[in-house]
Amino acid sequence: MDKKTNPPRKNPLSFLGWHQAPLSEQDLMDFQYDQCRGMSIRTKITMLLTVALSVFAFASAAISYEFYMETAIAQNERLAAGIANLVAESVDAEKVDEFVDSKGTAEGYDNTLRKLYRIKNTSPLVEYLYVYRIFVKMTHDSVRYMTDIKNKNETIAKMQTALIMTLADMVERRDKNTGHHIRKTAAYVKIIADGMKESGIYEDILTDDFIHNMVESAPLHDVGKITIPDAILNKPGKLTEEEFDLMKSHAAAGGKIIGSLIDTVPDSDYLYEARNLATYHHERWDGTGYPSGLAGEDIPLSSRIMAVADVFDALISTRSYKKGFPYEKALAIIKAESGTHFDPQVVAAFFAVKDKILEVADEFSETED
């Protein structure tokens, strides 16, 4: 008896397969031109990010120094107060005038002097006891200065966020198909992550700092597209297999670009999440994604969250080669891909906050119209 075989499972995302005639000679010339220009843009982006992050690191170091100074001042104030009390207990106030008038010959002077020297020798800082009141003023000045530093640091943080969005916009503007993709996906990522945290999903990973770094770096997830020529990035219709392979290279390229920034500014925590997002947001839960073929929880959590946000936005958005799907169809595809393309727990969290997701989609849909 012939063995019964089942037809291969149809991938509901197969409409995204890219197949078309090869590029024309003119397109190839554009390809070569864009490669040179892409390198130039990448260099500029790297330089801009490096300068911005260096300024941010300097501000953070200044704040750390001020916190140290404030702590040191508080410790010295406590020391000075303790020494002052000890001195007061060691000296008979009624005999001070007698000690001064006798020029050191009055009874009890030598004994009192020895006590004071013993107190002085307990710490090299005691000899500066007379500046105790100055320390109080310094503390107030330090608080005012710290407030100023805090305000400046908040300004720098806002500048950093604006710079990230500007750089992401530079990449997105080259891709005429994506619209407000970076802003929408960043909003979806935050909604999903907040929902997961509230539900206790991956609570050991989803700290406030983790979510902040992930959301801040989300706009850079497609930064590798600066290496893709315009002729391919904006080609209407489907791509050939070779062209699609080149398109897929943007994931690894984005990881390398952000990796070079990490080498320059290693203490910028959010860049590590930016690298994860850029490199792994096209990995699949079943291990059939790219660039590394990671599977399950080997895929960074931030990338698993971005994968759902990224695909959902691609499904509902109109492109030159397709019309946007209705929400119902897009949601059905996301649900169908749970456990194959997507982390099931992320999909569950996505549907738990579905109404908030659709509100964001509606808001951006109105601006795009």
- Give the up-direction half-sphere exposure of residue 159: CA atoms within 13 A in the CB hemisphere: 15
CATH superfamily, domain 15-55+176-368, is Hypothetical protein af1432 (1.10.3210.10)
134-175, pLDDT tens digit by residue? 454 555 566 566 676 666 666 656 656 656 655 666 665 655
- Delimit the domains of the chain by residue range: 15-55+176-368
Q: Which of 292, 297, 305, 298 is nearest to 334 (CA)?
A: 305
The string of pLDDT tens digits covering residues 270-318 is 889 999 999 999 999 999 999 999 999 999 999 999 999 999 999 999 8
Query: Whose structure tokens read 């390229």?
Result: 253
The 3 state secondary structure assigned to 232-296 is HHCCCCCCCHHHHHHHHCHHHHHHHHHHHHHHHCCCCHHHHHHHHHHHHCCCCCCCCCCCCCCCH
Percent of the chain past pLDDT 70, that is, above it, reads 54
Peptide bond into 291 cis (omega under 30): yes
Residue of 359 and 2 predicted with greater confidence = 359
Residue whose C-alpha is closest to residue 311's, from 6, 7, 12: 12
